[in-house]
Chain A
């Protein structure tokens, strides 16, 4: 019995160590701190809302994006752990990342035990944690330089209203857990000496209307309020978006993304992103 247990133990541990080494090696891309690098995270609103070609051309900065459709706060936690110390970071903030039902979250950035541990502490359910582990057991290359496919379209698809309403209703209970988890890793980024811009991605007026109809505007305000609370400063881009800038109720189209990116580039150029560790909450308009 003893011999059996010892052998099983040794074999399991060595398998775990070897696989973990391989995994870490495979998933940790060569990330170096460089003044010209900016690390970006967000969900589909960011994927569709920022045009990195415009940003690169207008700022001469290199953008490394981990923004992904359905990006969940767990993905953000992994991002925060991966980002080198003293980096420049842009976090695309949208309401959906706090309200999307857990099953729709991407949560596939990588297997990060630290992020999983704190997700548990923040109140994520055991089944969510289990799914996160199962989704991430196989290594992926992170930090790709994305050439996104921007949505093409000129007007909001109004038929989505009911669908969006349903999704928001489903997820409305989750926001507090996610806010707690999000804050934790924003603070961790700050502790790492990162200069952080939390960029609020614009949303259509229709979304405001839906939010008021399903009466969880308060909880959304709570999210926004909590970000303001942890921010060191709040700035505006003075941008106004009309329906013609949106592909649907939550995503900008090519025109809207261009508008946001040009203005963000101007902001970055004017700010020269300070090396000071601070959190800036950047909104399109008041």
Chain B
């Protein structure tokens, strides 16, 4: 079920009213209800793949319990009813600050399995290994199997042999990259002792399948989301109001910005060999806004919907196109994924507290894996590599943590220097997006070459792009104005209601309702 679908328009109010009016008084009933509706939400797409989510939840729930048993950390009090778990589990209690454990065991992913194979089959590590193998195996099979087969075949062909490898006709289960990473975060945190394993299967299964963020994130850490399932939710007006604002703004970004951009971007990329140079530049720029509107729009809706049910999800985007360098861009773009890789890959690899050469290696690994996470294609790996190449010079001169504030903070407009930096950063990001959007590396190079070699304006009809450009200008002005506040949360009621009406008007008049584009990140 898509957030911008007709079905969701009916699903959401019904679920919301039942949740607050029927199931409010009982925490367990709230969780069971959320679990059922989450499975309905996912099963609407293809119920057969529910089995994967349930299997992934089961394995990690069991591994968590086993790890806690081995560790002997599960207290007697905690081993009773689920409620005892709940009553003792405010956020600070659940997250242990066992720094010693952190340093000793850093590297459950990064440390080579081959070199240290035996310790992985004893004690806690055995269960962490099971969790890793199962979840990454699931992901590897459904998402990367054909890629590896095809790449192997290409490689063997290069050596002059005729390979006879066959691929499988696999359907990529929606959201598999998101929920496997979410469950992995639980297992790793339990292994590290940063999180107590839960004994409440309903809470855990609901945490994995929680419908607002199930299929495209934000990728929630167990330490943030899981404890929220142990506390009875009560409706708070302000929370509900903020949720509605985020939903509205997310729909605007998706239906107005992303889907309108898609209508012009797709033909440009499909005909990049004949498109004019200016059209190719426009194509890359508009795709940047398409993917931003699409993904951040989804995240806004997800966070908004979660707020309506009394849950706080992490922020996933903070106006990334106002970044003044690539490092800042990565602190603002897909935050839940970049912090996941930071905590579960970059830091265990040694992070930046190693030699320069190793730090550069670590950065490359993280960016390449991050690119590969997006899809089984060399274009995504190239995209990650480009970002690594753009990040490393800033890292080497020690300027990767310069821009920790907002651009133009406490000012109406950015300074000229900030404006220039934003423009340069955005241009670099757009170049990388060409690889992300292209179907092959050859196509990406062809596209970039076309910018330089195709006639600049031949056959260009600027009127085709005027609507998208105008809507993007509205988006940029609005986001600049709201960059340090909750969206549409103006103090003046007149301004607030005007902004609601304007956004609704824009959605009604310029939104793409019929045959909307799927959310791009669903395929990841």
Contacts and interface: CB of A to CB of B under 8 A. Distances in A.
B155 interface: no
A8 B514 contact: no
B500 interface: yes
A131 B514 contact: yes
A113 to B, nearest CB: 15
Contact of B508 (A3, A4, A11, A19): A19
Interface string A181-216: 000000000000000000000000000000000000
B235 A11 contact: no
A137 B511 CA distance: 10
A131 B20 CA distance: 31
B20 A8 contact: no
Interface in B113-127: none
Nearest to A108: B514
A135 B514 contact: yes
Interface residues of B, number: 14
Nearest to B234: A1
Interface in B3-45: 6, 20
Contacts of B161: none
Interface of B is mostly: helix
A134 B514 contact: yes
B513 interface: yes
A139 to B, nearest CB: 9
B244 interface: yes
B508 A137 contact: yes
Interface residues of A, number: 14
B175 interface: no
Contacts of B508: 19, 137-138
A15 interface: yes
Contacts of A134: 6, 513-514
Contacts of A19: 508
A130 B6 contact: yes
A15 B504 contact: yes
Given A4-B235, A131-B514, A138 B509 contact: yes
B20 A1 contact: yes
Contacts of A177: none
B324 to A, nearest CB: 38
Contacts of A133: 6
Interface string B493-524: 00000001100100011000110000000000
Nearest to A127: B6
B505 to A, nearest CB: 9
B494 to A, nearest CB: 15
A1 B240 CA distance: 9
Interface in A1-48: 1, 3-4, 8, 11, 15, 19
Contacts of A130: 6
A19 B504 CA distance: 10
B113 to A, nearest CB: 48
Interface string A124-153: 000000110111011000000000000000
Nearest to B514: A134
Given A133-B6, A135-B514, A138-B509, A4 B500 contact: no
A137 B510 CA distance: 11
A1 B235 CA distance: 6
A15 B509 CA distance: 13
A46 B139 CA distance: 55
Contacts of B240: 1, 4
A202 to B, nearest CB: 33
A13 to B, nearest CB: 13
A134 B513 CA distance: 6
Contacts of A11: 500
B518 to A, nearest CB: 15
A4 B235 CA distance: 10
A133 B500 CA distance: 23
21 contacts: A1-B20, A1-B235, A1-B237, A1-B240, A3-B237, A4-B237, A4-B241, A8-B244, A11-B500, A15-B501, A15-B504, A19-B508, A130-B6, A131-B514, A133-B6, A134-B513, A134-B514, A135-B514, A137-B513, A138-B508, A138-B513
Interface of A: 1, 3-4, 8, 11, 15, 19, 130-131, 133-135, 137-138
Given A1-B235, A137-B508, A137-B513, 4 more contacts: A1-B20, A4-B237, A8-B244, A11-B500
Would you list the 4 A-B pairs with minimal beta carbon distance, nearest first?
A: A134-B514, A1-B235, A134-B513, A4-B240
